[in-house]
Amino acid sequence: MSNCSPDSQAKVLIIDDDSYFLEMASEALSDICDVETYRNPQKGLKRAMQDPAPDLIILDVIMPTMSGYQICRELKQNTKTFNIPVIFVSSLEQISEITRCFDLGAVDFIGKPVQMPLLLAKVKNHLMMKLQRDMLEELATKDPLTGLDNKRSYDQTLQNEWKRASRDKSPLSLVVCDIDFFKKYNDHYGHGQGDSCLKKVANSIYKTANRSADLVARIGGEEFAIILPNVDKQGAWRVANNVLVNLRNKQLPHAKSEIHKYVTLSVGVATVMPDYKESPELLFEAADAAMYDAKQNGRNRVIA
């Protein structure tokens, strides 16, 4: 569920009003990455915000309709783009103008006229560092078995969404799912098959919920959570029910289940209007209590 593929070429975006530079730089970098160029700063910025996200941006400072400084500021303010390294290229020579680039969050500055071997060397270096950073981020936030976000990432996202919903006065919903009789599954099929079942369940939940969810995470051994920002009670119930039904319909065999002979879930849902004065723990406790009620009331159901 990671969108990072190790074999894909790095993507470098160059925004500069000088078409000669765009041509030379594209040529110099073409062996090591996919290059996309924009002479129009607004269009370049728009592209930077779209998928697939660039791995690096090379940015001119002086352009007619929007300066590189402005673009960099916008990139660093947007959660989608703030991690993308920016290298400035400019004929500006004043130290204050150059340090401003770094103050805005750039990773490097190259003076014009640009020596292409220097550009190539620096781009290589920064792409390597970006790759390492992405790998560390993956290790820190993803569950290695299922590829879903892990408990750490879930905690962080729930905190952030709690704050955001408190500020916007919008609802926040949480769905908690727990596989039914999973210990019996392991005992019967073995731990390896258990792991492979967890992957299938994770995949089914992700495919069902990802569109409306901010995050689908594995928060425990056979427990999953779905964070739904700005989704009300009815909306959250719908997502939860779809998750339940879609997995049930997969008919993954579970010979020792006391319900069907298939793998099923017990699902709890809670919705709150968050407040700064309270903590997201409140929301989790409510969803977890609902999930526990689902267990008590026969499993294989949603309780909101």
Active site amino acids: 222
The one of ligand GH3, Mg ion, none whose footprint includes residue 186, by CB under 5 to 8 A per kind, is: ligand GH3
Measured distance CA(123)–CA(227) in Å, rounded: 37
Which of 300, 222, 208 is closest to 262 using CA atoms? Answer: 300
Other CB atoms within 10 Å distance of the CB of residue 25: 23
State in angstroms the smallest separation of the CB of 6 from Mg ion. Answer: 33
- In the list 55, 178, 214, 288, the residue contacting Mg ion (rule: CB under 5 A) is 178
State in angstroms the smallest separation of the CB of 244 from ligand GH3. Answer: 14
**Is the Cβ of residue 143 or residue 222 nearer to Mg ion in the bound state?**
222
State in angstroms the smallest separation of the CB of 179 from Mg ion. Answer: 5
- In the list 62, 120, 252, 259, the residue contacting Mg ion (rule: CB under 5 A) is 62
CA 221-227-231 angle, to 5 degrees, is 150
Size of the site for Mg ion (CB under 5 A): 9
Checking DSSP bridges between strand 172-179 and strand 223-229, what pairing results, if any?
A: antiparallel
Tokens 């002086």 locate to: 62
- Distant-in-sequence, close-in-space partners of 38: CB < 8 Å, separation ≥ 6: 13, 14, 15, 16, 44, 47
Choices 106-114, 158-166, 170-178, 231-239 (CB under 5 A): range interacting with Mg ion: 170-178
Measured distance CA(158)–CA(287) in Å, rounded: 13
**Is the Cβ of residue 60 or residue 178 nearer to ligand GH3 in the bound state?**
178
The one of ligand GH3, Mg ion, none whose footprint includes residue 183, by CB under 5 to 8 A per kind, is: ligand GH3
The one of Mg ion, ligand GH3, none whose footprint includes residue 198, by CB under 5 to 8 A per kind, is: ligand GH3
Helix 191-209 / helix 182-189 crossing angle, nearest 10 deg: 140
Tell me if 60 contacts Mg ion by CB under 5 A. Answer: yes
Which of 174, 213, 166 is closest to 304 using CA atoms? Answer: 174
Tell me if 149 contacts Mg ion by CB under 5 A. Answer: no
The residue ranges that bind ligand GH3 (CB under 6 A) are 178-183, 186, 191, 194-195, 198, 221-222, 295, 299
190 close to 183: Cβ distance less than 8 angstroms: no
Interacting residue ranges for Mg ion, rule: CB under 5 A: 17, 60, 62-63, 178-179, 182, 222-223
